[in-house]
Amino acid sequence: MRPLNAAPLDLADLQQSRRSTLSGLAEEAAAQGLLPHETVGPAKTFAPRAAEESARDQPPRREPSAAMAPSAVTLPEPPHTMTKQECVLGLATASIYIKSRYAVCSGKQFDQVWLRNGRPVGTSHFDVLAIGTIPLNSRTLTITYHFTDFTAVGDNGAPSMGITTKGGIAQSWPSTAKYTQGGVAMPFTRTWTQLLGTDTFQHTVYAAPGQGSTGTRADHLAAVYIPNISIKAPPAWTTEPITGGNLFMLPPRWDKADYLPNAAAGGAATWAVMTPLQYSTAAGAPEREVALHIQKAFTEPGKTQPPLATKDVPGQTADAPLTRLYWDTKRREQNRNRSVYNCQKYFGEDYATSAGYARECDEYPMAATYEGSAQPTYDPLAEPGNFSVMAVKKEDNGAAGNLLGQYYNKNRLLDGPDDGFLVEITP
């Protein structure tokens, strides 16, 4: 098992330097699937996360309009589908592609070296893509498997080689959860020749509401789904390496939080991965002044208020995300009050009117996150002053707040540490 788009094996090279080349292939084949780097929640304790960040989709651009009322600003619905071509393009620079919290994929290349009397006489390889999608307001995961790029060279037994796909839930939190599976029955075995004729099939997993944890009042159920491929050489043939492996690990999550859409109809599922809320600095973007403020907090933290030499605000990387604060209204109010106090301190008590137009106090991290300005009151390890405030146009602040609220809903952000998100500033 090798990375997708790895260089094809050269039979002549294998015949000339068999031991060293096959040794390197064996090391690559031993590498097993990892969780996405952006995984959140209980699933991230199951296995190592990928060291590299996943490739990410660029959400549809919103048409800038400074004249738009803050309440009219609309965040596009995240994508719930992905084509094979989109997956291949997304994996050109990373091992996992996250199009949205409802559409992710990965893939691997499987190589075989065919031997007679211990000598390489042929090679073959094929690629496998696994695309995980979730429809809007659905509790059903669909994993679509694509087998592609079948290539064979020299003398080989590839046409009769058995290829077995086994995908399923490896662990759940809570562990008592039950699932209904659909599509092909797993494990699913076909020969190389059979897959050439029908190279795509689907596996579905449904989790009924009412099985999740109640601690966060969200009926939160987390799991890990693992797509696995194994290979069996036909009789009278031996191959190296003849191993399969886990393509990657997918972290699905189900919830029925009453503060998120579709709660009355049973909630919905997402992939438990972080994605970015995007704010734009483009001329005419309704949230522009807020975007410029956050950009400054990211790139020039020493020039923001309150002053702090070691300021390093979260939300920029998956290792230091933002987490949603919903239930603790007192803490949200404390975040807001501390931010307003700092705006008055550094921009004047009349900051709301002194510019000749209505302004509000913008804070980053937002008041509706656990990382807001009052965090040190609750977390003794949090550094006081590791936030930024700025007086911005009232309309821009309102637009940014509306985008945040829509992002929370459309991406099903849960309250607390079992979820998270990033902020990205775009031109």
SS (H, E, C) the chain: CEECCCCCCCHHHHHHCHHHHHHHHHHHHHCCCCECCCECCHHHHCCCECCCCCEECCCCCCCCCCCCCHHHCCCCCCCCCCCHHHHHHHCCCCCEEEEECCEEEEEEEEEEEEEECCEEEEEEEEEEEEEEECCCCCCEEEEEEEEEEEEEEECCCHHHCEEEEEEEEEEEECCCCCCEEEECCCCEEEEHHHHHHCCEEEEEEECCCCCCECCCCCCEEEEEEEEEEEEECCCCCEEECCCCEECCCECEEEECCCCCCCHHHCCEEEECECCEEEEECCCCCCCHHHHHHHHHHHHCHHHCECCCCCCCCCCCECCECECECCCCHHHHHHHHHHHHHHHHHHHCCCCCCCCCCCEEEEEECCCCECCCCCHHHHCCCCCCCCCEEEEEEHHHHHHHHHHHHHHHHHCCCCECCCCCEEEEEEC
- pLDDT at residue 22, as a whole number: 56
Q: Per residue in 148-204, pLDDT tens?
A: 999 999 999 999 999 999 999 999 999 999 999 999 999 999 999 999 988 899 999
Res. 28: pLDDT tops 60: no
What does the pLDDT read at residue 19? 55
What is the structure's pLDDT at 356? 96
23 pLDDT tier (thresholds 50, 70, 90):
low
Lowest mean per-residue pLDDT among 60-69, 258-267, 339-348, 396-405: 60-69
How far, in Å, CA of 173 to CA of 175, rounded? 5
Task: Check residue 64 and give its pLDDT.
Answer: 56
Query: Residue 374 and residue 341: Cα distance in Å, rounded?
Result: 12
Give the least confident one: 19-28, 116-125, 275-284, 364-373: 19-28
- What confidence category does residue 302 fall into, taking pLDDT thresholds of 50, 70 and 90? very high
At residue 52, the pLDDT reads 92
Q: What is the dihedral sign for C-alpha 266, 270, 274, 278?
A: negative
| pLDDT band (50, 70, 90) for residue 17 | low
pLDDT of 24 over the 60 cut: no
Overall pTM surpassing 0.85 (yes/no): yes
Tell me which of 56-70, 117-131, 230-244 is least confident. 56-70
Q: What is the mean pLDDT of residues 51-71?
A: 71
Q: What is the mean pLDDT of residues 202-209?
A: 98
Residue 395 scores a pLDDT above 70:
yes
Per-residue pLDDT at 10: 75
